[in-house]
């Protein structure tokens, strides 16, 4: 899993879509079986509208998020939920990172 050679420098194979802190936090919420709307994610993660929209789009393009539109009274409400692929990718990401933190020597070549 964890390491691969890249031009003589050992690098760790992590999912870069999830690795970015804001996207990691989004997946941290949605990857656990929750669905949240834009307003909640914005307030909770303290991101601007544009920044959050950009991160959500990146996750959606990677196939990790799906969008569900509902009516709340007369207004539409957009909920974001993790797809099966998104949940699996998030679980794999945690596995890799925890493996590195708990067993830093495993799978990493000291070149």
- Judged by the rule CB under 8 A, the positions of this chain that interact with other proteins are 25, 28-29, 32-44, 46-48, 51, 72-73, 77, 79, 87-88, 91-92, 94-95, 98
Q: Determine the Cα–Cα distance for residues 24 and 17; give it in Å rounded to an integer.
A: 8
- DSSP letter (8 states) at residue 78: E
What is the Cα gyration radius of the chain? 17
Considering the complex, state which of residue 9 and residue 72 has its C-beta at the smaller distance from other proteins.
Answer: 72
Least Å distance between CB 34 and other proteins?
5
CB atoms within 10 A of CB 96: 20
Rank residues 8 and 76 by Cβ distance to other proteins and give the closer one: 76
Between 10 and 29, CB nearer to other proteins = 29
Q: Give the pair of three-digit tokens for residue 107.
A: 């799978």
> Least CB distance from residue 64 to other proteins, whole Å?
14
- Tokens representing 90 are 């998030």
Closer to other proteins by CB, 7 or 50: give it.
50
DSSP state of 5: E
Closest distance of CB 104 from other proteins, Å: 17
- Helix (H) or strand (E) segment spanning residue 92: helix 84-102
The nearest distance, CB 58 to other proteins, in angstroms, is: 17
């Amino acid at each position: 899993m964890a390491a691969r050679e890249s031009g003589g420098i050992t690098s760790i194979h992590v999912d870069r879509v999830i690795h970015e802190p804001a996207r990691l936090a989004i997946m941290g919420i949605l990857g656990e079986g929750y669905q949240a709307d834009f307003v909640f994610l914005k307030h909770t993660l303290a991101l601007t509208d544009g920044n959050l929209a950009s991160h959500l789009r990146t996750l959606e393009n990677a196939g990790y998020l799906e969008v569900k539109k509902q009516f709340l009274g007369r207004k539409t409400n957009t909920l974001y939920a993790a797809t099966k692929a998104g949940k699996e990718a998030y679980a794999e990401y945690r596995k890799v990172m925890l493996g590195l933190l708990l067993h830093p020597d495993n799978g990493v070549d000291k070149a």
